[in-house]
Amino acid sequence: MKFKVAVVGGAGHIGLPLSCFIQNKGIQTIIIDKNVEALSLIKQSIPPFTEKDFQSNLTNANKAGLEVSSDISDIKNCNLVIVTLGTSSKKEDKELFEGVISDVLNEIKNESVLLLRSTVEKGMVENVEKESNEQSKNILIAYCPERLAEGFAFEEIELLPQIVGCKNEIEYKKVKSFFDLLKIETIYVSYSEAEFIKLFLNTYRYSQFSLVNYFSNIARNNSIDFKKILDLAKQDYPRLNGIPDPGFVGGPCLIKDSKTFINSYGDQDGIIEKLHITNEEFINLIVLEIGEKFEGKKIIQLGLTFKPNSDDLRDSQSIVLNNILKKLDYEVEIVEPNLKGYKNYEDILSFSKNVLITTFHDEFKDYNFDGKKVIVVGNK
């Protein structure tokens, strides 16, 4: 079967790398997105956000014929539609997702394939299928959750097997034929299994980072340098390989998906909810450390994005801490080299002797901190 693909929400962090990848595999692809500013940048081969090897992949995709549109009706010309807009347990997110799905089902042509790519609540895929059946359209619906690490999308999209949630094996084989063209291995599961996998994986990762913060909180309360003893404990001890450093747990997936997991499947013993409280306490202890170690109320804050070497501010806990400090009447100058509009470190050296590193970008390793009092939140 020859595919022509539409990627709805295709100008975003999930959709755009996928759109470029598909187009560069020789499959005609059109990006559908209401963000006309991003579409304009895409047409000019200007990456609207940071990804490794983004420039070459976007340039090649445009040369290969990548299309863009802000009109949802253009999916009528395609036989495979991928929706990359996610949802969460928040009412406004669910309503937005349901509205997009309704628009897609109104415009998608009969006998097409509809792939859902991002986070959905338990049972939502079956709800989409039910809505499709009510319109008497013979649409094959599959849930193919995205599992890529932001910043490494082009590297991982070829390496990671694709979970494919389908109603039956016959429909799975049709979806598999598409991923075979992309040279991507697939794993067949049911709708409910695919939904659980997506939410479980991100909730587990959230829990993994948060548990380290739990022990870090205990260490702080006992005047122990947790980062120091963690490094010592890991030294030549393979069973601690892979354990993360303490630090902020944020970003567009982990917090949202862990809350969506609770909303979908429950949290009988309150373990996940307690980890959310752990991370709030982690931030509160940083505020206490700032009050104890820094002199005065002026701070140079290094890093604002949710993780190192990123330009993504979504659910960044560096912003959460910054807002708390402002409420406590701290004057904070921010250095964020991955975003426009922020000052250079060299230009504000005289502002304060207090330096707070909240997101440890690689660039900061070359900064001179002589004469400064430095607090490092984390470097994961």
Nearest CA to 315 out of 323, 307, 324, 306 is that of 306
Out of 160, 189, 218, pick the residue that ends a domain: 189
Is 113's pLDDT higher than 90? yes
Does the pLDDT at position 137 exceed 90?
Answer: no
Residues contacting 254, CB < 8 A, separation 6+: 202, 203, 205, 206, 209
Q: Report strand pairing: 80-83 vs 354-357.
A: unpaired
Of 189, 221, 248, the residue at which a domain comes to its end is 189
pLDDT tier at 94 (50, 70, 90 boundaries)? confident
For residue 292, give the H/E element and its range.
helix 271-293
Residue 54 sits in a domain whose CATH number is 3.40.50.720
Find out whether 85 and 112 touch, Cβ atoms under 8 Å.
no
Distance CA 172, CA 180 (A): 12
Count of the separate structural domains present in the chain: 2
Radius of gyration of the chain (CA): 23
Structure confidence by residue, pLDDT tens digits, 293-308: 999 999 999 999 999 9
**Cα angle 51, 53, 54; round to 5:** 55
**pLDDT at position 379:** 59
165 and 256 housed in the same domain: no
Same structural domain, 19 and 155:
yes
Instruction: Indicate the length of the chain as a whole number.
Output: 380
The pLDDT tens digits for 18-27 are: 999 999 999 9
Single residue among 133, 162, 189 that ends a domain in this structure: 189
Fill in the DSSP letter of residue 144: -
Number of Cα atoms under 13 Å in the Cβ half of residue 252: 21
pTM for the full predicted model: 0.93
pLDDT > 70: percent of the chain: 99
Q: With a cut of 70, say whether residue 380 has pLDDT above it.
A: no
Q: Distance (Å, rounded) from C-alpha 236 to C-alpha 13? A: 38
